[in-house]
Amino acid sequence: MELQSERTSSRTTALSISQGLLDRAPLRPSATLNCAAYRGKSVLVSGAGGSIGSEICQQLLAHRPRVLVLFELNEFALYSVEAALRPHAARAGCQIVPVLGSVGSGPLADQVLRENAVQVVLHAAAYKHVPLVEANPLAGLSNNVIGTQVLARAADRHRVERFVLISSDKAVRPGNVMGGTKRLAELVVQDLAGRSVHTAFAIVRFGNVLGSSGSVVPLFQDQIRRGGPVTVTHPDIMRYFMTMEEAVHLVLMAGNMARGAEVFVLDMGKPVRILDLARRMITAAGYRPRDAHTPDGDIEIALTGLRPGEKMVEELTLSGILSPTAHPKIFSAQEDGLSEVEIAIFLRSLHTAVDSGDRDSGLDLLRRWVEGYGPGNDTRPLATQVV
């Protein structure tokens, strides 16, 4: 299938780049490792047609779930991922159930969880593109926060065994709306984790994924194909990176370890300068970078200035303190949440802002409830300690 071919090409490119740039050997997942949390279970993946969601589905089949529910809002994305997965699912003895709709629909969430007797939810559905969410904050708040609230509460009502929120390093002291919505989604899950009797709620937080939709790798590849320029916002901007394969492998491992209330943080290695990434990709394509230092190069690197909400360096924890887990590449962070009363206040205000289309009130909620939130926020991260 075309989707599978694109995924293989993207994975190969990401692996090649990671080996030469990330200053660490990429994790090579074991194809024989099975997780008890998924084997023989009914598993729902939200955002199943996205780059991360589809990789989660692909890797899940190796753990032989009984049912795999593909929950996706985009019709073509759902069609594509179902078509790509069906032959693999047949060999794994897994039933594929495609569900077209929004995680923010309470009646649909209840119906899907009930009819498929879902035992595990891996919640990857989110709007994640920083500039787009910055320009459309209410859409981001509705999908990323209210969608998480609706699906998580439905999971609790239906006594799902475990619910894993896929989060982002951009949720830590966010400088943009997207990161702020991801932190609010974390707060919703943290609240339920402290009150649920039947469901183990956990969060997995990590940075950028090489080759995911909208990431810098496919953007730079396209710019190089067109002859440049390759655009970098700032010469010193840095990001954490993982390959898609290793990120999803560790997400599944963390979900298997979840007992409730954990904030798992994946080992991303050292942050990478985006300017170095651009130079390496231009060189790997057989060209010479052209910048102030090498004016006779082939492909220009153009500095465009930081975008609205963009931070120089992302962070992985609020406290800077990580604790080891049973897996050497997975850590646990202790993150303070909000009280049940505070959660109720912010969610009531959030629903009012979204329902009334009040953009200013929505942004006020981010400023009030998200620690460190602020456009232009560029505080340098705390030195991370493992204790």
Active site amino acids: 170
Whole-number CA gyration radius for the chain? 20
User: How many Cβ atoms from other residues are within 10 Å of residue 161's Cβ?
Assistant: 16
> What single letter denotes the amino acid at residue 129?
H
% helix / strand / coil in the chain, to the nearest 5?
Answer: 45, 20, 35
Query: Which tokens hold the place of 133?
Result: 């969410």
Query: Which tokens hold the place of 126?
Result: 């989110």
Q: Report whether 337 contacts 190 (CB < 8 A).
A: yes
**At residue 346, what are phi and psi to the nearest 5 degrees?**
-70, -35
Angle at the Cα of 23 from the Cα atoms of 20 and 27, rounded to 5 degrees? 85
Which region holds residue 330: left if phi is over 0, alpha if psi is between -120 and 50, else beta?
Answer: beta
Element (DSSP H or E) covering residue 294 = none
CA distance 305 to 303: 6
Q: Report whether 231 contacts 146 (CB < 8 A).
A: no
CA distance 121 to 161: 8
Q: Report whether 173 contacts 318 (CB < 8 A).
A: yes
Closest to 169 in 3D by CA, of 59, 363, 311 = 311
